[in-house]
Amino acid sequence: MSTVMSPKDFATATPSWWCPGCGDFGVLSALKQAMAELGKTPKNVAFISGIGCSGKISGYLHSYAFHGVHGRALPVAQAVKLANRNLTVIAAGGDGDGYAIGAGHFLHAVRRNADITYIVMDNQTYGLTKGQSSPTSMTGYITGTSPQGNPDAPINGLAVALAAGGSFLARGFSAHPKLLVDLIKQAVEHKGFSLVEVMSPCVTYNKINTYAWFKENVAYVTENEHYDPTDKQQAFEALSREDKIPLGIIYREQRPTLETLMHLAEMPTVNAVLDPQAPELVALQEAYR
């Protein structure tokens, strides 16, 4: 008989340090709801996060948790999944954590297609360090460190992931909780690397990309009845348009996961006997001589 879970089962007693109204609250709420609806239990979930306001989220979700260093959530998440494939592994970070210092790890995690879910909370600013421009900030965005306007073009994380071979790409909005829950559930159930980018406004430092701004500048791809999320060309076109930001499942395909292609043993590495004389380890060493 399966256990009936509720979002409260995934709550911790740790008080939040986020600013009131931060979009990350919506992401946390959607995560807890999605885990409960999927019938997950805290002991079967591993949540890995990086640095930044978004990085605090691993302390607010009751599960196995690892709060890593800046830009390094994805290598840790992949290692956890390879060590124990029975775990549901979710990584989370911000646009700076994932698309700046973590960009190299991001690109290779996408192409490897490990069976993990990565949630990027995009507020288009560095909120934790007082509002500098981030990789997704629009050109001309004025901050304390760029008083004449941000000179850089914003990176399109989903388009980069699509070009790198992403097998599940979606984007949600923290002010649309029910739809965000559904996107997260589908991402977790997908076999392979799932990227869910979430428009998550910073109410303290970003006075441009506000909730009101996003509501005027987003549109779901499902509004086009002919949109096919399995068509890579359509996905590129949707992500390349310069009008409204596309939300929903942008692209998905099924291809072999990293775990499958590595032909790993059935027994998780975490349960292996780490005796250097164990036949399995001796055979592994011989194979690489």
The residue whose two tokens read 């043993």 is 265
Asked whether residue 275 is assigned to any structural domain, the reply reads: no
Q: State the average pLDDT over residues 234-263.
A: 94
Asked whether residue 273 is assigned to any structural domain, the reply reads: no
Q: What is the pLDDT of residues 210-229, one digit of tens each?
A: 999 999 999 999 999 999 99
Q: State the average pLDDT over residues 199-207.
A: 95
Quote the CA–CA distance of 112 and 173 in Å, as a whole number: 27
Q: State the average pLDDT over residues 205-211.
A: 95
Is it the case that residue 242 has pLDDT exceeding 90? no
Is it the case that residue 1 has pLDDT exceeding 50? no
Q: State the average pLDDT over residues 232-247.
A: 95
Q: State the average pLDDT over residues 155-174.
A: 97
Asked whether residue 274 is assigned to any structural domain, the reply reads: no
Structural domain range at position 203: 7-256
Is it the case that residue 253 has pLDDT exceeding 80? yes
Is it the case that residue 2 has pLDDT exceeding 60? no
Is it the case that residue 264 has pLDDT exceeding 80? no
* Domain count across the chain: 1
pLDDT on residue 68:
84
Query: Which of 3-7, 98-102, 190-194 is predicted with the least confidence, judged by mean pLDDT?
Result: 3-7
Asked whether residue 289 is assigned to any structural domain, the reply reads: no
CATH number reported for the structural domain that contains residue 185 in this entry:
3.40.50.970
How confident is the prediction for the chain on average, in pLDDT?
92
Quote the CA–CA distance of 112 and 143 in Å, as a whole number: 36
Q: State the average pLDDT over residues 70-78.
A: 92
Asked whether residue 82 is assigned to any structural domain, the reply reads: yes
Per-residue pLDDT band at 267 (split at 50, 70, 90): low
Q: Which two tokens stand for residue 284?
A: 């592994």
Per-residue pLDDT band at 77 (split at 50, 70, 90): very high
Q: State the average pLDDT over residues 22-39.
A: 96
Asked whether residue 286 is assigned to any structural domain, the reply reads: no
pLDDT on residue 268:
67
